[in-house]
């Protein structure tokens, strides 16, 4: 059964590719990796490659919201503030909801405050415990725009950003809101990077997804936020699929069953099949287990001909923000003219892993279909605990 489309009226986006729609889409199609930088400050054992957002704005106020996550989020929010203001005038602030996917919130600020307390015997005067609350980013959005609708943060590991879009659509479907700000944000933190390093998941250099030589992920930071309404616009969320296979705490089901089900559910809701998907943005972390599982699931869901790529080699894995940022990439691609069909390249060494399916990995300058099949694109986000989320966006 095809669901009502939920229109994505505007996008604000910030990541290692840059800040703002035009900057990001240009860098995305160029395969720009300049935001992937070697930083010595996060891992206990030494330097690592991370996706960094530079030149962040200051927050308009300094209190419990004064975190790096919220500075990143703010840099995306200011890009849609005019659209939000129009929605507030049209619907009223009590009818606008907020759903933000996140996993880090103010964890880094808490770590630094704890180090100060150990050294000096007291927390710094500007530290607030509320900075660490997972609900802090959504609270920040509601406070910034003076909204009074439903507001919460989804923290479902690396599927959080995708789950936020699905949750926002349900707000609209049930009539609880007339507009929703949906998206995701995460900032780089020592705790996160050392946690992934303890799992032997951090790549020693740049990530190399689906390669026989792949050896881990790069972590990144960023944010993407949409204004979602029932009011028609050029791009819509056509469908979503959310599954939880519960296979393992931090390892994916090698059969790809949960991932396959998520893609099928998303396409069924959107009323499309593999022949209607012009491009798929893969989760594509560069870890052995994820890439093998995802390539198998994608081959079963979409076949071997649909153009695909992982964009994480250009942004790093932005964790709770990844699903929203990568949905943002689809929005940017679908917002172009029908004749402009260049796709994000898959950056790797071209040596397919023996445990990976031979998918149609997009190359520099490759274009997708230009006819009716160019109306839909798919994005995958998979998370710890067997949580899977696939989104289908399309022209409306």
| pLDDT tens track for 239-284 | 999 999 877 667 777 888 999 999 999 999 999 999 999 999 999 9
Report the distance separating Cα 319 and Cα 187, nearest Å. 9
350 close to 250: Cβ distance less than 8 angstroms: no
Residue carrying the six token digits 């160019």: 374
Report the distance separating Cα 332 and Cα 303, nearest Å. 24
φ and ψ at residue 159, rounded to 5 degrees = -100, 5
- Token pair recorded at residue 114: 């704890």
> If we measure between CA atoms, which residue out of 313, 304, 307 comes closest to residue 366?
307
Instruction: Report the SS3 class of residue 217.
Output: strand
**What is the residue-wise DSSP string for 250-309?**
SS--TT-HHHHHHHHHHHHHHT--GGGEEEEE----S-HHHHHHHHHHHHHHH-S-SEEE
**Predicted local distance difference test score (pLDDT) of residue 277:** 96
**Predicted local distance difference test score (pLDDT) of residue 27:** 97
- List strand residue ranges (DSSP E) for the chain, in order: 6-15, 18-19, 36-43, 46-51, 96-101, 151-154, 179-186, 219-220, 222-229, 235-244, 277-281, 307-309, 360-361, 376-383, 387-395
Report the distance separating Cα 160 and Cα 169, nearest Å. 14
362: confidence class by pLDDT, cuts 50, 70, 90? very high
Say how far residue 40 (Cα) sits from the centre of its chain: 25
58 close to 70: Cβ distance less than 8 angstroms: no
> If we measure between CA atoms, which residue out of 243, 242, 239, 241 comes closest to residue 269?
239
**Predicted local distance difference test score (pLDDT) of residue 381:** 96
Residue carrying the six token digits 């230009």: 370
Set 272, 283, 356, 389: catalytic member? 283
Q: Per-domain residue ranges for the chain?
A: 6-395
Report the distance separating Cα 98 and Cα 225, nearest Å. 10
**Predicted local distance difference test score (pLDDT) of residue 371:** 46
**Predicted local distance difference test score (pLDDT) of residue 338:** 81
Q: Answer yes or no: 248 catalytic.
A: no
At residue 229's C-alpha, the angle toward residues 223 and 234, to 5°, is 80
Kindly report the length of the chain.
Answer: 396
Set 15, 177, 272, 317: catalytic member? 317
**CB proximity list for 124: less than 8 A, separation 6 or greater:** 113, 116
Strands 219-220 and 46-51: parallel
Residue 355: Cβ within 10 Å count? 15
- pTM here? 0.95
Instruction: Report the SS3 class of residue 185.
Output: strand
Residue carrying the six token digits 């980013």: 137
**Which range has the worst mean pLDDT, 45-59, 112-126, 175-189?**
112-126
Tell me the longest C-alpha to C-alpha distance in the chain. 66
The yes-or-no verdict on residue 3 having pLDDT over 70 is no
> If we measure between CA atoms, which residue out of 208, 163, 138, 99 comes closest to residue 381?
163
Report the distance separating Cα 89 and Cα 204, nearest Å. 50
Q: Answer yes or no: 304 catalytic.
A: no
Residue carrying the six token digits 């943002």: 328
Say how far residue 255 (Cα) sits from the centre of its chain: 24
204 close to 296: Cβ distance less than 8 angstroms: no
105 close to 132: Cβ distance less than 8 angstroms: yes
Q: Answer yes or no: 283 catalytic.
A: yes
The per-residue pLDDT for range 123-165, each reduced to its tens digit, is 887 888 888 888 999 999 999 999 999 999 999 989 999 999 9
1: confidence class by pLDDT, cuts 50, 70, 90? very low
Report the distance separating Cα 167 and Cα 1, nearest Å. 19
Its sign, for the CA torsion 195, 197, 203, 204, is: positive
Pick one of 3.40.47.10, 3.40.50.920, 3.90.1150.10, 3.40.640.10 as the CATH number of 6-395: 3.40.47.10
> If we measure between CA atoms, which residue out of 187, 180, 190, 191 comes closest to residue 223?
187
The yes-or-no verdict on residue 85 having pLDDT over 70 is yes
In the sheet that holds 219-220, the strands lie side by side as 36-43, 46-51, 219-220
């Amino acid at each position: 059964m095809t669901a009502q489309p939920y229109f994505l009226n505007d996008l604000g986006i910030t990541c290692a590719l840059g800040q703002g729609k035009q900057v990001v889409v240009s860098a995305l199609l160029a395969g720009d990796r300049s935001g992937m930088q070697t930083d010595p400050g996060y891992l206990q054992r030494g330097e690592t490659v991370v996706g960094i957002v530079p030149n962040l704005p200051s927050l308009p106020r300094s209190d419990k919201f004064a975190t790096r996550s919220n500075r990143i989020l703010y840099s995306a929010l200011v890009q849609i503030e005019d659209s939000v203001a129009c929605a507030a005038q049209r619907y009223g602030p009590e009818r606008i909801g907020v759903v933000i996917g996140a996993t880090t919130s103010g964890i880094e600020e808490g770590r630094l405050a704890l180090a100060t307390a150990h050294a000096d015997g007291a927390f710094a005067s500007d530290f607030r415990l509320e900075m660490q609350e997972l609900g802090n980013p959504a609270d920040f959005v509601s406070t910034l725009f003076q909204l009074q609708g439903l507001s919460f943060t989804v923290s479902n590991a690396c599927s959080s950003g995708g789950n936020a879009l699905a949750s926002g659509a349900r707000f609209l479907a049930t009539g609880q809101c007339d507009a929703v700000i949906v998206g995701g944000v995460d900032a780089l933190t020592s705790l996160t990077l050392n946690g992934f390093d303890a799992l032997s998941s951090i790549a020693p250099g740049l990530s190399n997804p689906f390669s026989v030589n792949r050896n881990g992920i790069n972590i990144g930071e960023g944010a993407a936020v949409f204004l979602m309404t029932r009011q028609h616009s050029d791009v819509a969320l056509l469908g979503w699929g959310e599954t939880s296979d519960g296979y393992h705490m931090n390892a994916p089901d090698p059969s790809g069953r949960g991932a396959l089900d998520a893609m099928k559910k998303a396409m069924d809701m959107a009323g499309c099949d593999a022949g209607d998907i012009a491009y798929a943005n893969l989760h594509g972390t560069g870890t052995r287990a994820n890439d093998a599982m995802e390539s198998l699931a994608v081959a079963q869901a979409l076949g071997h001909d649909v153009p695909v790529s992982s964009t994480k080699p250009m942004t790093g894995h932005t964790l709770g923000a990844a699903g929203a940022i990568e949905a943002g990439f689809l929005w940017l691609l679908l917002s172009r003219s029908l004749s402009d069909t260049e796709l994000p390249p898959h950056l790797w060494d071209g040596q397919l892993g023996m445990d990976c399916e031979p998918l149609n990995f997009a190359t520099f300058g490759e274009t997708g279909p230009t006819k009716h099949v160019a109306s839909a694109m798919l994005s995958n986000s998979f998370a710890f605990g067997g949580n899977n989320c696939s989104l289908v966006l399309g022209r409306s």
